[in-house]
Amino acid sequence: MNYSEIAKPKTKEMQVAPNLLGEGDLTSKTPWPEIERELGVDGRDSFNLAQLAIDRHCENGWGDKVALLWEGKDGGEEAYTFEQLRTLTNKFAHALAGLGVQKGDRVFIFAGRVPELYVSVFGTLKLGAIIGPLFSAFGPDPVRDRLLDSGAEVLITTPDLKARLSTILKDLPQLRHTILIEREVKAAELDQGDVRYEQAMAAAPSDPPDTTTSREDYSIMHYTSGTTGKPKGAVHVHNAAIQHYATGKWALDLHPDDIYWCTADPGWVTGTSYGMSAPWLNGVTQLIYESGFGASAWYSAIQKHRVTVWYTAPTAIRMLMKAGDEITQKYNLSSLRHICSVGEPLNPEAVLWGHRVFHQAIHDNWWQTETGAILIANYPFMAVRPGSMGKPIPGTTPGIIDEAGNEMPHDAEGDLAVRPGWPSMFRAYWNNEALYRSRFNNGWYITGDRARKDKDGYFWFVGRTDDVINTAGHLVGPFEVESAFMEHPAVAEAGVIGKPDPLAMEVVKAFVALKGNYEPTDNLRRELMRFIRSRLSAAVAPREIEFLPSLPKTRSGKIMRRLLKAKELGLPLGDTSTLEED
Ligand code: ATP
Ligand code: MG
């Protein structure tokens, strides 16, 4: 399917001039020296991500600016300036040091989106320890697996979440201390090694800790989403700050006056790279919204806080689409200047919907836990081709390669790969050197995604390598078929798999969840078949359609096609630690 391009915005109609003005700005092969000068790290081997994101602004006269604007579950609000965050993170670093934590130790955090979480993350970084954020909706087993694998020595959590872990804490011999944030719930009693957050903070000095970190010191480790298999612990370094800053500026188009909102949870990489690091490196005020998804609640938050730049994900956008267009008119959303999405392919229908209700394209961008930061993006200055992930970040080299690691011609489908050396590249899979090495071939890092690049340099996602379907000699990317389903008014979401077939090798099977006011009837199934055949060639169209109330997703909101497939074939489900439970 071809969707018409959303024209380039006219510069004079834009509220502010974008940070990148045109194609010419994308072609610079060496933007990093200038970015390093802007950040004040040129020629320096030692710097610290937390110091750059927080303290630097205090030294440059922005100490009184609000960095963190928090709206709690009960509607209560708190605001923290860069200066307040500087003091609090210094104190937290001292509190950790007081517990014997040293550079390189793993400190994990299992908490909801409360201000203390942000203080803990940056305080840990200031001390040079490695922070590992865990999604707060995890059950005990995924937490145990990650704490064991990483050898975490400290866990920061809340009394109620600690209670959830009661069965597994005894299985963690390396865990020495638990720091309890008692904002909502007070701990009835303390176990050995438990520390109260407030007490530790009150006793800690507020001067900067005496540590230096080098560019290459480990900073954050994130377990991947587990969409394709067992989650892997991707390890990042302080040097990533350079690309967090640059992509915040180029792809998210952050300007000093912005109110920015990233909806991702800090348990996933988007929630740290772009829900902490990028906005603060750019000196921007960011909204932290404690509650989960709700269409009215989200629109109301945008209206109330006058959010200007909004970074969200396809699943959330599909849920907003499901809630309908009308509700968008009940709110004043005119503050929104730039909307971005990441995490899954963004169906063209979603881009067009955004254009209709928000009067602007939703800008898809591509990256993954391992890349640490955005690598391909739709920029505010350019025409958006719905369904495309956009063009490479200046100074990075994504490409489409064949199995031998050679670049392929325009429009050919191949492995999406990246030339190593981008600043935020992961440096290891924790405890898994062999897997790390296996991701490189012929001077490329292999991402595990399939894509193509058109003659104008736009990248198009095809599917995960594992999800691509081979039907009668045709390679079918699930995204294309799912996007065709999304065009039908009855469809809320669709997931497509290859089902083994004696003749065709595989046939395409689609799982479809309907919008609330549609019934899963045979008539609708036949109508959907006809609808898809009118859009896709017969070879690619699904042979079977099954209706489901909703599709299995990871807790970060990605459709788990491997689970649809395992269930279909009656095979073991594999690692389900990140499966979202209804
Ligand atoms: P795992 O590696 O454990 O299977 P995961 O790959 O889902 O999980 P993440 O690192 O959170 O873990 O997700 C990155 C992946 O998400 C990308 O490799 C890609 O498959 C998908 N993705 C992210 N952004 C986009 C996008 N804009 N378009 C298409 N796919 C995207
Ligand atoms: Mg992955």
Q: What ligand is nearest to the CA atom of residue 369?
A: 1
Domain that holds residue 131: 79-236
CATH code: domain of residue 29: 3.40.50.12780
Q: Indicate the residue among 188, 204, 236 that finishes a domain.
A: 236
Q: What ligand is nearest to the CA atom of residue 554?
A: 1
Same domain, 507 and 428: no
Does 316 reside within a domain?
Answer: yes
Nearest CA to ligand 1 atom 24: 343
Report the C-alpha gap between 331 and 302 in whole angstroms. 9
| 343 CA → ligand 2 middle, Å | 10
| 485 CA → ligand 2 middle, Å | 25
Q: Name the residue of 145, 274, 426, 449 whose CB sits within 8 Å of the most ligand 1 atoms, as the mutation to test its pocket.
A: 449
The mean pLDDT value for 459-477 works out to 91
Residue 469 has pLDDT above 70, yes or no: yes
Ligand 1, residue 232: give the atom nearest the CA. Answer: 3
Q: Indicate the residue among 197, 212, 236 that finishes a domain.
A: 236
Which tokens is 467 given? 């999800």
Average per-residue pLDDT for the chain:
95
Report the C-alpha gap between 13 and 269 in whole angstroms. 34
Residue with tokens 């890092």: 445
Same domain, 263 and 136: no
Which tokens is 236 given? 């990042």
Does 7 reside within a domain?
Answer: no
Residue 582 has pLDDT above 80, yes or no: no
Report the C-alpha gap between 373 and 248 in whole angstroms. 9
Same domain, 207 and 276: no
Of residues 138, 109, 110, the one with CA closest to residue 123: 109
Same domain, 302 and 446: yes
Nearest CA to ligand 1 atom 12: 225
Q: How far is CA 539 from CA 36, 256, 475, 526, in A?
A: 51, 51, 10, 17
**CA angle in degrees (0–180, nearest 5) for 344-152-267:** 25
Same domain, 518 and 435: no
List the beta strands (DSSP E) in 152-208: 154-157, 177-180, 194-196
Same domain, 434 and 531: no
Which tokens is 323 given? 């809630």
Q: Which residues line ligand 1 (CB under 6 A)?
A: 224-229, 231, 268, 342-346, 364-366, 368-369, 389, 447-449, 461, 464, 556, 558
Domain count, the chain: 3
**Using one digit for the tens of pLDDT, what is the confidence trace for 65-88?**
999 999 999 999 999 999 999 999
DSSP β-bridge partners for residue 377:
365, 391
Q: Residue 293: CA atoms inside 13 Å, Cβ hemisphere, count? A: 16
| 367 CA → ligand 1 middle, Å | 7
Ligand 1, residue 479: give the atom nearest the CA. Answer: 29
Q: What ligand is nearest to the CA atom of residue 466?
A: 1
**Using one digit for the tens of pLDDT, what is the confidence trace for 214-255?**
999 999 999 998 888 888 999 999 999 999 999 999 999 999
Query: Within 10 Å of residue 526's Cβ, how many Cβ atoms?
Result: 11
Ligand 1, residue 554: give the atom nearest the CA. Answer: 7
Q: Indicate the residue among 210, 236, 262 that finishes a domain.
A: 236
Which tokens is 172 given? 């963690």
The mean pLDDT value for 84-113 works out to 98
The mean pLDDT value for 461-472 works out to 92
**Using one digit for the tens of pLDDT, what is the confidence trace for 2-24?**
678 998 877 767 779 999 999 99
Nearest CA to ligand 1 atom 27: 366
Does 88 reside within a domain?
Answer: yes
Does 5 reside within a domain?
Answer: no
Same domain, 97 and 153: yes
Which amino acid belongs to residue 6?
Answer: I
Does 512 reside within a domain?
Answer: yes
Report the C-alpha gap between 579 and 582 in whole angstroms. 10
Same domain, 273 and 250: yes
pLDDT for the residue numbered 102: 97
Ligand 1, residue 369: give the atom nearest the CA. Answer: 10
- Judge whether 333 and 299 are in contact, CB under 8 Å: yes
| 579 CA → ligand 2 middle, Å | 15
Residue with tokens 């081979």: 470
Report the C-alpha gap between 58 and 84 in whole angstroms. 10
Residue with tokens 């710097």: 47
| 230 CA → ligand 2 middle, Å | 10
Pairing of β 398-401 and β 194-196: unpaired
Q: What ligand is nearest to the CA atom of residue 234?
A: 1
In the structure, what pLDDT confidence band is assigned to residue 1 with cuts at 50, 70 and 90?
low
Nearest CA to ligand 1 atom 1: 226
Nearest CA to ligand 1 atom 5: 225
pLDDT for the residue numbered 2: 65
In the structure, what pLDDT confidence band is assigned to residue 537 with cuts at 50, 70 and 90?
confident
**Using one digit for the tens of pLDDT, what is the confidence trace for 338-392?**
999 999 999 999 999 999 999 999 999 999 999 999 999 999 999 999 999 999 9
- Judge whether 327 and 299 are in contact, CB under 8 Å: yes
| 326 CA → ligand 2 middle, Å | 36
Ligand 1, residue 578: give the atom nearest the CA. Answer: 3
DSSP per-residue codes, 114-137: -HHHHHHHHHHHHHTPEEEEE-TT
Residues contacting residue 326 through CB under 8 Å, at least 6 positions apart: none
Ligand 1, residue 227: give the atom nearest the CA. Answer: 4
Same domain, 445 and 483: no
Ligand 1, residue 234: give the atom nearest the CA. Answer: 10
Q: What ligand is nearest to the CA atom of residue 426?
A: 1
| 447 CA → ligand 1 middle, Å | 9
Does 43 reside within a domain?
Answer: yes
Same domain, 332 and 440: yes
Report the C-alpha gap between 264 and 556 in whole angstroms. 8
Same domain, 247 and 317: yes
State if pTM tops 0.75: yes
| 241 CA → ligand 1 middle, Å | 21
Report the C-alpha gap between 153 and 130 in whole angstroms. 10
Same domain, 207 and 284: no
Question: 3-class SS at 500?
Answer: strand
Which amino acid belongs to residue 269?
Answer: V
- Judge whether 268 and 222 are in contact, CB under 8 Å: yes
| 445 CA → ligand 2 middle, Å | 13
Q: Residue 139: CA atoms inside 13 Å, Cβ hemisphere, count? A: 7
| 344 CA → ligand 1 middle, Å | 6
The mean pLDDT value for 178-199 works out to 93
Q: Which residues of 287-305 are buried (b: 16+ CB within 10 A; e: fewer)?
A: bbbeeeeebeebbebbbeb
The mean pLDDT value for 519-528 works out to 97
| 425 CA → ligand 2 middle, Å | 14
**Using one digit for the tens of pLDDT, what is the confidence trace for 288-347?**
999 999 999 999 999 999 999 999 999 999 999 999 999 999 999 999 999 999 999 999
| 76 CA → ligand 1 middle, Å | 34
Residue 539 has pLDDT above 90, yes or no: no
CATH code: domain of residue 518: 3.30.300.30
- Measured distance between the N- and C-terminal CA atoms of the chain, rounded to whole angstroms: 33
Ligand 1, residue 447: give the atom nearest the CA. Answer: 18
Nearest CA to ligand 1 atom 31: 344
Ligand 1, residue 229: give the atom nearest the CA. Answer: 4
Does 74 reside within a domain?
Answer: no
CATH code: domain of residue 143: 3.40.50.980
